[in-house]
Structure 1
Amino acid sequence: MSFPDDGEPQDAIDAFAGVTASDPEPPPQEDPGDIDRDESSEPIAAEIINWRYLTSGEAEQVWADLRDWVEWFTVRYRVPISTVPNCWWQHEQLVEELSALHTAHVVCFDDADTGLGPVGWHERLAIARPRLTHAYGGGCSNGHQDTPSRSWATVTDENAWTAWTTQAHATPHQH
């Protein structure tokens, strides 16, 4: 293949692409609709666990699946006990984070994935690692220590709440 010495920039592009002046049109492109795909175009679905609404009937299998994955994950990725303690299942915020990672892992490694799932999983894991550390505040090295849960049962003054929420509190825009 030779490249034109002179001429317009398009001449060089055409020469590189194998188009000559005698070619009336560029070669036809394959129609994307003609591509036979072996995989389904159905969306990849993972079971997302909403821990707030988990029923007792669902709980045993959901916990077993998560435990299996967490044990594999912490060994495979060398997650230290200081990040995910042996009593991880008793730390609600950590359960939420691990459950979200489990779901992401299932989706990213699904057979119907386009091929970017595994790198997407590792990108998400890198973002999630500091959150895992934050979700577990430590303190269980000598056995599980309960973290006091926050409660709203007695802290909201209902009269003050109602007075506040029945007004817009919008600040007029001033020019």
Structure 2
Amino acid sequence: MPLYEPPDGLFGPERDFVDSAAAYVAAAEPSWDDDGPVTPIEWDLLTAREADAAWADLNAWVHWLRHRFALPANIVPPYWHRHPELVEELSALRTHRLACYDPEASPSSPITWMRDLADAILRLRDWVALCGTGRNGDRPSRQTAWPGEPDIDDDYVVNLEDREADFRAFVADDVERRRRIEDAAQAHLRLVRDDEDGA
């Protein structure tokens, strides 16, 4: 059952706004650590379970953000999840907002967040221009090969038609990659323990 059911009779932008607000409320706190304080997310260190929840939370919040502030695709593009620089910026912005709107935060914290949002919008616009993702297509962020490194083919563009399907597939791949790393680490620890027990 959803946390909030919009009233009947809403349509168009009103319904979209209420739906995005409900998604934001649902994603207000990280779902893997409901009892802890708001902390920054170190994406490279998340477990598979934490990453699955963090992706869902961030996705819901980004939908809320783009609707709330009418942000165009040159600031928050549909395929932001495919670009680590955008993930880091949006994740930091979300964490900052949670801290600024905490019930124990200073009453002036929201204006700090609004000022920082304006700065983040400028950075997001720059990130999007650099990485080349757009409304209907995406390509990997451009990487510059240094002397001695192989050339990087980053000129291709993938036309994507279903953003939510792409997001789900991307997250499933990321979670599975993390799960394989965890399984390999556990297997290594078992071998080390077995060697120590046999010594």
Q: Give TM-score, length-normalised by structure 1.
A: 0.58
Equivalent residue letter for 1:117: S
Deviations 1:100-134 (A, max 9, x none): 00000000001111201111111111111111111
Equivalent residue letter for 1:90: R
Q: Pick one of 118, 138, 142 that aligns with 1:144.
A: 138
Q: Pick one of 60, 74, 80 that aligns with 2:72.
A: 80
Equivalent residue letter for 1:70: V
1:171 counterpart residue number: none
Q: CA-atom RMSD, angstroms?
A: 2.2
5+ residue gaps, structure 1, are: 1-43, 156-175
5+ residue gaps, structure 2, are: 1-35, 150-199
2:90 counterpart residue number: 98
2:70 maps to 1:71: no
Structure 1's 49 and 139: CA in aligned 2 closer, same or farther, altered over 3 A? closer
Distance in 1 separating the partners of 2:111 and 2:95: 15
Question: In the TM superposition, what are the counterparts of 1:12-161 in structure 2 within 5 Å?
Answer: 45-137=37-129, 138-149=132-143, 155=149
Larger radius of gyration: 1
Distance in 1 separating the partners of 2:144 and 2:46: 20
Deviations 1:44-82 (A, max 9, x none): 931310112222221100000100110000100111111
Distance in 2 separating the partners of 1:139 and 1:65: 22
Richer in helix (by share) = 2
Equivalent residue letter for 1:146: P
Distance in 1 separating the partners of 2:144 and 2:56: 27
Structure 1's 75 and 123: CA in aligned 2 closer, same or farther, altered over 3 A? same
Conserved? CA contact 1:84–1:132, under 8 Å? yes
Conserved? CA contact 2:100–2:106, under 8 Å? no
> In the TM superposition, what is the alpha-carbon distance from 1:145 to its structure 2 partner?
1.8
Equivalent residue letter for 1:111: P
Distance in 1 separating the partners of 2:77 and 2:113: 22
- Sequence identity percentage: 37
